[in-house]
Amino acid sequence: MKIIYVTDLHGNAAKYTRTLETAKKTGAAGVLNGGDMLPLDGDLHGSQNEFVEGFLLGHFSDYAAAGIAWLGMLGNDDLRIHDALFDKVCRKNKNIFNLAQRRVEWGGFEFIGMNWVTDYPFRLKDRCRRDGPGYVFQRQCGAGLLSTPEGFHELPDWPAYAEGLPDMGQELAALPKPGHAAEAIYVIHTPPAGLGLDVIHSGERVGSGAVNRFIAKNQARLTLHGHIHESPEISGVWEAKMENTVCVQPGQAKTALTYVVIDLGSMTVERFVEPM
């Protein structure tokens, strides 16, 4: 069974449409989306809500009409206040699944998603977590922000606030358990540390040690990541292996659609970067 994995589309409708067309052309049974789905321009409370209702709703019915499944989740740049609406929109069509912190059985495989991310310097903290005990925060760009229906709520001391939240290791441990661990497919927005899938422009590696340890411990069939758009171009690495687990982070180019086609039977993975 072939699937397409794509991530970090950030509200680019043309890339969404091209992904569905590619799924039809390649005979893929489903498309997986690794998060950061919504636009980053304008007032995010309004523009992201509009994208879910005005684009995704119809786009998901195009998937249903084509008989292609869609499994995905929002990411750290998608405000948490839109979670309920996104979930509702997913439920309106057959074989459209919100994977965030959930286990979904589809096509003979189990898919488990997670969209909590290791903290970063940027202000939006809706889905941010310390990586683990003793976590040292990076220098922050300003006070933290959490989305609320009334607008952003400012957190003057984000590190102190975050100490009261679960860390990445605890969030990963709380995920639903697969029936067959060795066959499970995880979609975890944050890439693991230590594999070259997490390298930013400066060359700094910002991946999660907690995700790395989770993969090493669980030995799943496949883990899919995103978050650091530029990493494959900087490190030259988009696929890695940790014992029995294949880890993929295709990145996302600015002016091209980046995706991978995965044959889940033979576990062959091919990456494409197509100019738009």
Binding site for Zn ion (CB under 5 A): 36, 75-76, 227
Exposure b/e, 184-193, CB count within 10 A at least 16 = b = bbbbbbbbbb
Q: Which is nearer to Zn ion, 69 or 81 (CB)?
A: 81
Q: Which is nearer to Zn ion, 75 or 251 (CB)?
A: 75
Exposure b/e, 128-138, CB count within 10 A at least 16 = b = bbbbeeebeee
Report which secondary-structure segment, H or E, holds 70.
Answer: strand 69-72
Phi, psi of 161 (to 5 degrees): -60, -45
The two tokens of residue 162 are 């975050």
What minimum distance in Å lies between the beta carbon of 242 and Zn ion?
21
Amino acid present at 118 = T
Q: Which is nearer to Zn ion, 129 or 227 (CB)?
A: 227
Q: Which is nearer to Zn ion, 36 or 83 (CB)?
A: 36
What minimum distance in Å lies between the beta carbon of 227 and Zn ion?
4
Phi, psi of 26 (to 5 degrees): -85, -5
- Alpha carbons within 13 A on the beta-carbon side of 154: 4
What minimum distance in Å lies between the beta carbon of 262 and Zn ion?
21
In this chain, which residue has its C-beta nearest to Zn ion? 227
What minimum distance in Å lies between the beta carbon of 84 and Zn ion?
20
What minimum distance in Å lies between the beta carbon of 8 and Zn ion?
6
Q: Which is nearer to Zn ion, 36 or 198 (CB)?
A: 36
Yes or no: say if 168 and 130 are a contact pair by the CB < 8 Å rule.
yes
Q: How far apart are CA 81 and CA 276, in angstroms?
A: 31
Yes or no: say if 158 and 125 are a contact pair by the CB < 8 Å rule.
yes
Q: Which is nearer to Zn ion, 76 or 245 (CB)?
A: 76
Yes or no: say if 153 and 125 are a contact pair by the CB < 8 Å rule.
no
What minimum distance in Å lies between the beta carbon of 189 and Zn ion?
6
